[in-house]
């Protein structure tokens, strides 16, 4: 049994707490293994507060932020702790379901060589698979990519459902979910660009113009940004 302190009991912290409880670990403030599971913008403040009231010597301290690497933990490392950045690559919705999904997910790891073994052991408790990140990875782009896959797909589905309700009524959400699932399945092949279809891929300018005409000014701006992304993918496919 290991003693673990989890700082931050939001969606991620709650899931990790449950994972450690399931592993029969003890959750307590005096633990030598400390996990920061606070929002990205609160991490520096939380680390500063922790340093002010704790002896970091011989502790193993990690955070689970996607956008931050080891640099944010340097004050704790300088104070004598081993540190790692461990980011679960998944969406967090509900603890009971997510603790099982965590076992099917990857956790990216940034850690010094001396802390790598402890990081691996912690991820093993979570039941996940660890991927080590190179030190030169741009975590801003890394985190952006994951946000596009999770949050932006959700946003697109919500907007599509809103636009479909007048036509399909109570069946709109099911239709959106079916199309999204099929699109994800098609894009999961070795050549995702080959699955791209629709008016942009076909070059149907008149259809796109009609789309625009059906939207108000704010929605037109939203759609225009999406068109730029799709057109870039179409151009990339042509260049292959």
Q: Are residues 224 and 147 in the same domain?
A: yes
Q: Are residues 32 and 98 in the same domain?
A: yes
Q: Are residues 114 and 9 in the same domain?
A: yes
Q: Are residues 127 and 175 in the same domain?
A: no
Q: Are residues 125 and 169 in the same domain?
A: no
- Give the model's pLDDT for residue 76: 97
Q: Are residues 83 and 193 in the same domain?
A: no
- Please tell me the pTM assigned to this model: 0.87
Q: Are residues 156 and 48 in the same domain?
A: no
Q: Are residues 151 and 43 in the same domain?
A: no
Q: Are residues 18 and 71 in the same domain?
A: yes
Q: What is the residue-wise DSSP string for 58-82?
A: T-EEEE--SS--SGGGHHHHHTT-E
Q: Are residues 70 and 96 in the same domain?
A: yes
CATH number at residue 180: 1.10.1040
- For the chain, what is the domain count? 2
Among 79, 106, 135, give the residue marking a domain's end: 135
Cα–Cα dist 153/72, whole Å:
29
Cα–Cα dist 64/42, whole Å:
12
Among 116, 135, 154, give the residue marking a domain's end: 135
Cα–Cα dist 132/18, whole Å:
24
Q: Which structural domain, as residue segments, surrounds residue 31?
A: 3-135
- Give the model's pLDDT for residue 239: 64
Q: Are residues 146 and 124 in the same domain?
A: no
Dig out the tokens for 156 from the structure.
Answer: 């697109």
Q: Are residues 130 and 145 in the same domain?
A: no
- Give the model's pLDDT for residue 7: 98
- Give the model's pLDDT for residue 240: 55
> For each of the chain's 240 residues, which pLDDT tens digit applies?
789 999 999 999 999 999 999 999 999 999 999 999 999 999 999 999 999 999 999 999 999 999 999 999 999 999 999 999 999 999 999 999 999 999 999 999 999 889 999 999 999 999 999 999 998 999 999 999 999 988 999 999 999 999 999 999 999 999 999 999 998 888 887 677 778 889 998 899 999 999 999 999 999 999 999 999 889 888 877 765
* Closest by Cα among 78, 33, 35 to 59: 33
């Amino acid at each position: 049994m290991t003693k673990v302190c989890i700082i931050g009991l939001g969606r991620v912290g709650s899931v990790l707490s449950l994972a450690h409880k399931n592993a029969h670990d003890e959750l307590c403030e005096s633990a030598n293994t400390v996990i920061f599971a606070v929002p990205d913008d609160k991490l520096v403040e939380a680390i500063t507060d922790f340093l002010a009231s704790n002896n970091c010597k011989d502790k193993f301290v990690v955070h689970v932020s996607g956008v931050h690497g080891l640099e944010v933990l340097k004050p704790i490392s300088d104070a004598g702790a081993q540190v790692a950045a461990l980011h679960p690559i998944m969406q967090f919705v509900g603890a009971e379901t997510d603790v099982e999904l965590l076992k099917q997910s990857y956790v990216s790891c940034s850690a010094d060589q001396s802390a790598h073994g402890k990081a691996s052991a912690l991820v093993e408790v979570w039941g996940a698979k660890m991927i080590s990140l190179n030190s030169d990875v741009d975590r801003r782009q890394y985190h952006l990519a994951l946000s596009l896959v999770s949050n932006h797909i959700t946003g697109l589905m919500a907007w599509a459902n809103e636009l479909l309700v007048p036509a399909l009524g109570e069946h709109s959400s099911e239709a959106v979910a079916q199309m999204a699932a099929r699109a994800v399945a098609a894009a999961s092949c070795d050549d995702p660009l080959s699955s791209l279809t629709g008016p942009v891929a076909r070059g149907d300018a008149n259809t796109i113009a009609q789309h625009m005409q059906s939207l108000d000014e704010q929605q037109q701006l939203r759609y225009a940004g999406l068109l730029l992304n799709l057109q870039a993918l179409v151009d990339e496919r042509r260049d292959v």
